[in-house]
Amino acid sequence: MTMATTTIRIDFATLPDHLDRSRPSVVAEVIEAALREGGINADCSDLFSHLKIDLPTAQLAAASAVLVDLQLI
């Protein structure tokens, strides 16, 4: 059985000021760590123009709450 996954993309230009846009890999690590602390099994990576967060669709609501706390959505 395959698990349904969701991808969230966040444009670097929309990152809040408290995150260092000049260090996208560090921002990705911070977001991934926050999601994992929230019990969400997510992979976050920095791409050319945006951050990509892959997670199980079943954890989308919980991930959204964490992303709200981080002021990302």
Q: Which of 55, 72, 51 is nearest to 3 (CA)?
A: 55
pLDDT tens readout for residues 36-67:
999 999 999 998 889 999 999 999 999 999 99
Q: 21: how many CB neighbours lie within 10 A of its CB?
A: 12
**What is the domain extent for residue 28?**
5-69
The residue-averaged pLDDT of 21-29 equals 91
- CATH at 61: 3.30.1370
Number of independent structural domains in the chain: 1
Q: Annotate 42-71 with b (16+ C-beta within 10 A) or e (fewer).
A: bebebeeebbebebeeebeebbeebbeebe
Query: Residue 3: its pLDDT value, please?
Result: 80
